[in-house]
Structure 1
Amino acid sequence: MPRKLIRGPQRRTHPLVWFLAIICTIIAIAVIIAGIVVFVGYIVIHPRVPFISVTNASLDLLQNDLAGLLQTQISINVRAENDNQKAHATFSDIRFALRFQGIKIAELVAGPLEVNKRSYQDLHYVVQSLSIPLNPDQVEEVDLSWKRNVISFELKGNARARWRVGPLGSVKFQNHLNCQLKFHPSNGTYINSRCSSKST
């Protein structure tokens, strides 16, 4: 005898499951649209990446004594620049270390900066360091610097930059500085050299 196929009552999908599925679909579509908007906005503004650079500096004081102690004062002007014509930029987490012969002299920091399109903001730092102990090799290096009339300090650090692209997203960048600041100790003038996070 042929068997009869007996079906039980069909289970219906719970309305809550349908609701969650619809919500997840809407969120996924919103994320895709936001990504497209950010990408298109990034292309439209034809980006020139915000950058930081040292525009000027001066060696205001440099003294060393027989005990191997160094005293120095350095003025440094760091510029946060936004070349873009269509987007404002925000710089944050600005932090640089100034060193001499591996000795950390000072840490240069600044709060968040808002920089308008096609504009810049300057950060003026005056670093005073008294009685920096030098080892014999470092003392010899200072003596040679006086004789050569050239002395170098290392400036290294980072700053984050962000562009706002429309109402839904932003584009973020990391700016890195790693350069030598060179001076004539005889008169304190800055030997201008490229010190910028801008790629060449």
Structure 2
Amino acid sequence: MSVEAVVFDIGNVLIEWQPERWYDARIGEARRREMFAAVDLHGMNDTVDRGGAFRDTVHTTAARYPDWSAEILMWHDNWLELAAPAIDATVDILRKLRSNGTPVFALSNFGVETFAIAEAEYPFLQEFDRRYISGHMRLAKPDAAIYAEVEADCGVSPSALLFADDRPDNIEAAALRGWQTHLFDGPEGWVARLRAEGLL
């Protein structure tokens, strides 16, 4: 079926999201590995992505792990540095699709406060036709329910949605609902896929 709308993940598709890399540069790889083994920082972030209060979630985690408290608080205090830089080539793809008249949606695991921070820094996040942000929805990928809510809201048949995400589990969940999918591993492959679909 032809594509009627293109759906973008944000982290590692439009904005780099590599917390380990950021911490490696600040505290060294060995100490970072020790911390990530001791503290489920990605689990903490998942709580935020599902609607948990950003500051409270990070500060509660820091209090629970006093040996790592200062480093954990960096996640909150330096968050914008963790979510950087923009992937300019993919931003260009987003804009080309819109200029061609293709509806473009965002479907991303993102906290309410962290998305507001990112939106202020990256104005292109305001350029989507529709945005589905997990913190606002209190649902997160790869839960089937978040895909169902997108379908119900946008009115596009699942088989007419083309979804790009960097995580295989998110892609697989969308495919199970009948969405067309692309496992994002860089702008070049995404351009090739969109050209094959006649969208660029």
TM-score where L is the length of structure 2: 0.25
Q: Which has the higher relative contact order, 1 or 2, with Cα contacts under 8 A spaced 6 or more apart? A: 2
- Larger strand proportion of the pair: 1
Q: Is the radius of gyration larger for structure 1 or structure 2?
A: 1
TM-score where L is the length of structure 1: 0.25
- Larger helix proportion of the pair: 2
